[in-house]
Amino acid sequence: MNNNPEIFDGSTAGVNSFFTKMYGYMGVAVAISALTAYIGSYSETVIRIMSNPIALIGVFVIQMIMAYSMSSLKSQRSPLVSALGLFGFAALEGLLFSGIFIVYTAQDITSAFVAAVVMFAVLAFMGMTTKKDLSGIGRQAMAALIALIIVSIINMFLRSPMISYVFSFIGLVIFMGLTAWDTQRLRQMYLQMGSQVNINNLALMGALQLYLDFINIFLNLLNIFAGVGGSRD
């Protein structure tokens, strides 16, 4: 990874180059999560650890610390450190999802992944090209996400499959809005801050944001497809 700061280019070509770099980092992160989840699904030890509530809380805390650290955009931080943070985060996320290959069928996983890729691409394109300010949608989506997290925690005790299924549709809509908004916001951040921060760090931070949007779109679609097909174990 090149640790030298890149020269800011505010032209259309510069923006496209920035997004190409960011999507590249995001793609690697998704691949790492998929590979880690697949390998972890064959390990009884990993499944047992990831089924432990204390272990899950520990992983969640570590991920929050990593995400917060990457969002600071400190210019003195090496892009290599940021990249290791992103890919380490993705590996931990993959371990959390090891059970996917056990609970869901290969057909549901493939269908949800393909649908998520198409949906993400369309929403990202909209966020890149629309002239409408999406900040209002983004704020509403964030508020809805907080509410969804709260009621989802409550449902952990109720254990209602129907509520979980309905929440998947709500979550999908929320992350659709966040994907478009994050894309527009990252474009604006590049144009406004690209000359002041390390562009590689900005691209890696953006990759983490979009990675989380994509993963959540995929997970909600997976739950929806499995519910429709009745293929969840």
Taking only the tens place, the pLDDT of each residue in 147-192 is 998 988 888 787 788 888 999 999 999 999 999 999 999 999 998 8
CA 231 from chain center: how many Å?
Answer: 25
Let me know if residue 125 belongs to a domain.
yes
- Checking if the pLDDT of 142 tops 60, the result is yes
Q: Rounded CA gap, 161 and 138, in Å?
A: 28
Q: Rounded CA gap, 32 and 188, in Å?
A: 28
What integer pLDDT is reported at residue 102 of this predicted model? 86
Let me know if residue 154 belongs to a domain.
yes
Let me know if residue 16 belongs to a domain.
yes
Residues 6 or more apart in contact with residue 198 via CB below 8 angstroms: 5, 6, 73, 75, 77, 79
What is the chain's percent helix, strand, coil content, to nearest 5? 80, 0, 20
pLDDT band at 27 (very low <50, low <70, confident <90, very high): very high
Residues 6 or more apart in contact with residue 60 via CB below 8 angstroms: none
- Max distance between CA atoms of the chain, in angstroms, equals 54
What integer pLDDT is reported at residue 2 of this predicted model? 57
Higher pLDDT: 60 or 218? It is: 218
* Alpha-carbon distances of 8 from 4, 118, 189, 200, rounded to whole Å: 12, 30, 12, 11
Note whether 89 and 212 are within 8 A (CB).
Answer: no
pLDDT band at 3 (very low <50, low <70, confident <90, very high): low
CA atoms within 13 A on the CB side of 219: 22
Let me know if residue 5 belongs to a domain.
no
- Mean pLDDT value across residues 119-123: 97
Write out the residue range of the structural domain in which residue 106 sits.
12-229
Let me know if residue 4 belongs to a domain.
no
What integer pLDDT is reported at residue 59 of this predicted model? 81
Let me know if residue 222 belongs to a domain.
yes
Q: How much is the CA Rg of the chain, to the nearest whole Å? A: 18
What integer pLDDT is reported at residue 176 of this predicted model? 97
Q: Rounded CA gap, 221 and 214, in Å?
A: 11
pLDDT tens-digit profile of 203-225? 999 999 999 999 999 999 999 99
The proportion of the chain whose per-residue pLDDT surpasses 90, expressed as a percent, equals 54
Number of domains in the chain: 1
85-94, 113-122, 188-197 — which is least confidently predicted? 188-197
Output phi, psi for 104, to 5 deg. -110, 155
Let me know if residue 36 belongs to a domain.
yes
Note whether 210 and 20 are within 8 A (CB).
Answer: no
Q: Rounded CA gap, 18 and 59, in Å?
A: 30
Let me know if residue 3 belongs to a domain.
no
Q: What is the pTM of this model?
A: 0.88
Q: Rounded CA gap, 58 and 62, in Å?
A: 6
